[in-house]
Amino acid sequence: MPDGCSDLDNTRRFLKARLLTDRASFHGYEAERQQIHDLLERTAEHGESNSALLLGPRGIGKTTLVTSVLVQLLSKETFHRNSLVVYLNGLIHIDDRIALKSATAQMNLENAVDGKVFGSFAENLAFLLECLKAGDRKKSKSVIFLLEEFDLFCSHHNQTLLYNLFDVAQSAQAPICVLGLTARLDVIELLEKRVKSRFSHRQIFLLPREDGFEERLELFGSLLKLPTEQEVRTFAATHPTIPPDVMNNDELALLRNLFNPRQYSLPSKWVTQWNRTIDKLLKSAEVQTVLQNMYEYDVLEGPFRMQLFELVNGLDDEHPAITIESIQQLGERYESDDKVKLLAGSSVLEICLVIAIKHHSEIYDRDPFNFEMILTRFSKWANSSSSMQGIERPVVLKAFEHLKQLEFVAPLTGGGLAKVQKEYQLHRLLLTYGQIRQAVQRMQFLPTEISQWEQSSLV
């Protein structure tokens, strides 16, 4: 394989960059993406004022969707010339004063201040609103406010910033668009009445699809395949470069270090060979089974990219290609349960106590229990056992305390429970029955009678 090592290094570098920094490519949700695209385009080119919320669970791709729309629009001269993008993040701009300073800086309004020092937040806000209201729909530049972690802005004092932004968007003054991104689906309920009345109530939902496994297979292929020369040329045609003056906004981190496949060069022979390997993997029933299991655990694209990153990270001179075995190992690591591993490494006495707790929970529908209850159940079984007879009470109590330290059981809190003697303190089980069964099956050299007790009818 000519230049195999360098080609492999370049491939690994290319795939890692794509998985981590390709925020301009968005997969699926075409209708929702078009809504955001039209919203921002109308604000910039027709002077319409709008407000909207983009809602969806973490990792679904809200920020990626907005970034892909901005990359597409900012390359157009009409949009770039007629608009300003102000990016605020609720995790960074923790109160309205900090948010207002950042917005003023991003709108390049410091020059208009002419050296004046604001005495208060109110003056700063009044100045910003005056600047926004001074223009009209035809002459003013449109301002697009992107509010990431929108729900955190709702906790700011009196929601002053949100109120004034929505108020300007509702009135026929300078055209602005307020787009909030949040993982809280009930965020509307956090808005005060006066703020809610000025919001357009336009909500766009990104919700996981339950039956999108075919799309997951396509995503697996598109993320791991290398682009041909033709595809690189197509990318260059469809992704024009963003004007450099847009990138001067230090706060707009979304558009920083975007993935560009033109920076990488790979021999066409290597690309064809690599893509053929990925195609074979996609047709493999074993790979599809692993991907199906991973999809049933988590349908979001963000965590899936991190799993593929781990897969790519395992490529080296000894393992120059992704194989069925490496994907199966990834699936096993993904599905592995740390609590099961921890429980499988515990002592025989501790696993016996866990089994006794399991039987107690099955009989009493997971009601709380104390040490004395479990000791009685364990002793009843141990007396008929050949291997666990004669264990003293302090030893069993020590093993029970260790289960508490490992957080397999947890004491109930509240009321006068703290004053109770530790043998009679109520606890609850923090394990599922399936986890206990898996741990018993994995334990080596476990006496047969103990594994049979776990599987037996209630004792």
Same domain flag for 170 and 73: yes
User: 215: buried, middle or exposed (CB in 10 Å: 19+, 13-18, 0-12)?
Assistant: middle
In a domain, residue 14? The reply is no
Q: Report whether pLDDT(117) > 50.
A: no
Domain boundary residue, one of 335, 361, 385: 335
Classify residue 395: in a domain, yes or no: yes
- What is the Cα–Cα distance from 87 to 249, expressed in whole angstroms? 9
- Domain end (from 335, 350, 385): 335
Q: Pick from 290, 136, 268: which is nearest to 213 by CA?
A: 290
Distance CA 443, CA 346 (A): 9
Structural domain tally of the chain? 3
Inter-helix orientation angle 348-363/371-383, to 10°: 110
Within a domain: 307? yes
Q: Both 169 and 238 in a single domain?
A: no
Q: How confident is the model at residue 110 (pLDDT cuts 50, 70, 90)?
A: low
Q: Could you tell me the CATH number of the domain that includes residue 145?
A: 3.40.50.300
Residue 13 lies in a domain: no
Residues 450 and 401 in one domain: yes
pLDDT at 413: 81
| Cα pseudo-dihedral 138, 111, 70, 32, rounded to 10 | -60
pTM across the whole model: 0.75
In a domain, 254, yes or no: yes
Same domain, 267 and 353: no
Q: Are both 260 and 349 inside the same structural domain? A: no
Each residue of 270-323: pLDDT tens digit?
999 999 999 999 999 999 999 998 898 888 888 899 999 999 998 888 888 999
CB 24 within 8 A of CB 69: no
What are the tokens at 2? 């000519």
Task: Tell me: do 274 and 372 sit in the same domain.
Answer: no
Whether 309 and 331 map to the same domain: the answer is: yes
Residue 325 lies in a domain: yes
Co-location of 382 and 449 in the same domain: yes
Q: Which comes out higher in pLDDT, residue 77 or 124? A: 77
pLDDT tens figures, 229-279: 888 888 877 777 777 776 677 777 778 778 888 888 889 999 999 999 999
Q: Give whole-number Cα distances, 434 to 137, 373, 429, 438, 439, in Å.
A: 63, 22, 13, 6, 9
Name the amino acid, one letter, at 419.
Answer: K
Q: CATH number of the domain at 417, please.
A: 1.10.10.2450
Place of tokens 């999108």: 212
User: What is the per-residue pLDDT for 108?
Assistant: 74
Domain with 41 in it: 29-205
In angstroms, the Cα distances linking 223 to 92, 233, 237, 443 are 31, 18, 20, 39
- Work out the percent of the chain whose per-residue pLDDT is above 90: 45
Choice among 50-54, 186-190, 335-339, 432-436 with the minimum mean pLDDT:
335-339
Average pLDDT, the chain: 86
Over residues 97-119, the mean pLDDT reads 68
pLDDT at 52 over 70: yes
For residues 188 and 93, state if they share a domain.
yes
Query: Is pLDDT above 70 for 11?
Result: yes
By percentage, how much of the chain surpasses pLDDT 70?
91
Last residue of a domain, one of 190, 205, 220: 205
- Give dist(CA 174, CA 410) in Å, integer: 58
Asked whether residue 9 is assigned to any structural domain, the reply reads no
Whether 132 shows a pLDDT value over 80: the answer reads no
In this predicted model, which residue has the larger pLDDT, 447 or 336? 447
pLDDT in tens, 174-210: 788 999 999 999 999 999 999 999 898 999 999 888 7
Q: Are residues 151 and 258 in the same domain?
A: no
Residues 195 and 220 reside in one and the same domain: no
Query: Does any domain span residue 153?
Result: yes
108 shares its domain with 198: yes
Tens-digit pLDDT profile for residues 55-89:
999 888 899 999 999 988 888 888 888 888 899 99
Distance, in Å, from the CA atom of 212 to the CA atom of 204, rounded to the nearest integer, reads: 20
